[in-house]
Amino acid sequence: MTKTVAKKAAAKKAVPAKTAKAAKEAAAKKAPAKKAPAKAAKTAQTAKVAKTTPVRPAKPAKPESHLSMVRRARRINRELADVYPYAHPELDFRNPFELLVATVLSAQTTDLRVNQTTPALFAAYPTPEDLAAADPEAVEQLIRPTGFFRAKTKSIMGLAAALRDDFGGNVPGRLEDLVKLPGVGRKTANVVLGNAFGVPGITVDTHFGRLVRRWKWTDEEDPVKVEAVVAEIFPKSEWTMLSHRVVFHGRRICHARKPACGACPIAPLCPAYGEGETDPEKARKLLKYEKGGFPGQRLSPPPDYPGLPAPPLAAG
Contacts of 129 (CB under 8 A, 6+ apart): 160, 164, 169
Site for ligand SF4 contains 260 (CB under 6 A): yes
Buried b (16+ CB within 10 A) or exposed e, 142-170: bbebbeebeebbebbbbbbbbbbeeeeee
205 in catalytic set: yes
From residue 85, give the alpha-carbon distance in Å to each of 81, 106, 251, 274: 5, 24, 15, 26
Site for ligand SF4 contains 209 (CB under 6 A): no
304 in catalytic set: no
Structure letter (DSSP) for residue 107:
T
Please state the closest distance from residue 215 (CB atom) to ligand SF4, in A.
7
Q: Judged by CB under 6 A, which of 266, 286, 299, 310 binds ligand SF4? A: 266
- Identify which range of 108-116, 170-178, 200-208, 258-266 contacts ligand SF4 by CB under 6 A: 258-266
Q: Judged by CB under 6 A, which of 139, 254, 286, 299 binds ligand SF4? A: 254
- Identify which range of 36-44, 52-60, 62-70, 266-274 contacts ligand SF4 by CB under 6 A: 266-274
Site for ligand SF4 contains 14 (CB under 6 A): no
- Identify which range of 47-55, 118-126, 200-208, 272-280 contacts ligand SF4 by CB under 6 A: 272-280
Burial of residue 287 (number of CB atoms within 10 Å: 0-12, 13-18, 19+): middle
Q: Judged by CB under 6 A, which of 259, 296, 301, 307 binds ligand SF4? A: 259
Nearest to 242 by CA among 224, 255, 230: 230
Question: What residues pair up with 308 in beta bridges, in sequence order?
Answer: 295
Q: Judged by CB under 6 A, which of 14, 69, 161, 272 binds ligand SF4? A: 272
Structure letter (DSSP) for residue 63:
P
Please state the closest distance from residue 247 (CB atom) to ligand SF4, in A.
13
Among the options 205, 216, 282, 288, which is catalytic?
Answer: 205
Contacts of 266 (CB under 8 A, 6+ apart): 76, 79, 80, 83, 249
Are 107 and 136 spatial neighbours (Cβ–Cβ below 8 Å)? no
Is 254 annotated for ligand binding? Answer: yes
Nearest to 202 by CA among 166, 245, 162, 171: 245
Site for ligand SF4 contains 73 (CB under 6 A): no
Q: Known catalytic residues?
A: 187, 205
Enumerate binding residues for ligand SF4 (CB under 6 A): 214, 253-254, 259-261, 264, 266-267, 270, 272-273, 275-276
